[in-house]
Each structure stands twice: as C-alpha cells, then as structure tokens.
Amino acid sequence: MHHTDSLRAAYLGKRVRCQEELLPLLEARLTPSRTDRGQARAIVATAFACFDAATATWLEGNGQGDILDLYDQGLAAVRG
C-alpha cells in the first residue's frame, strides 16, 4: 500500500473520512473552552500522522519492534 500510488491514494481518502467522523467524538470530550473544531481537527490529524510515522518506521525496519511503541515515541516527540 505504501509503495503503490493508487492504493495509497485510496488509503488517504479513507483516512480523511475517518478523521472527519472522529471529530464529533473528540469535540464531546474536550472541555467547553476547547471546543474549537480546528483544535479537534489538529488533535485527530496529529494522532493519525504519528501512526503513519510509526508505520513507515516499522516497515523500514522490516517489521521489527512494536509498532505501538513507535507510535508512543512519535506522540512523545510531538508533545515535546
């Protein structure tokens, strides 16, 4: 999927739709002062970007290691 343009495009389209469907769920969990749709969208996009980075790193390493650990490392990097 990551090396075939048509499959990657289909994946990205599904991912965008999934992110949009997750927005109301996240907005319901944010505090009233943080209900800005842009903030919710940024949070969801960041989570998906960290997953993509973990997946790419995992694939480069031929599936070695725990992909969830890579995801956690990505989130930690974003949080600073």
Query: CA 37, CA 60: separation in Å to the nearest integer?
Result: 34
The CA distance from 51 to 56, in Å, is 9
Containing domain of residue 25, as a range? 5-79
Amino acid at 23: L
- Whether residue 33 has pLDDT greater than 70: no
How many whole angstroms separate alpha carbon 61 and alpha carbon 59?
5
Query: Which residues does 64 contact at the CB level (< 8 Å), separation at least 6?
Result: 58
Number of domains in the chain: 1
φ, ψ of residue 4 to 5 degrees: the values are -120, 115
pLDDT of residue 35 exceeding 70 = no
- In this predicted structure, what is the pLDDT of residue 80? 87
Of the candidates 51, 46, 63, the one whose C-alpha atom is nearest the C-alpha of residue 11 is 51
Q: Read off the pLDDT band of 46 (50, 70, 90).
A: very high
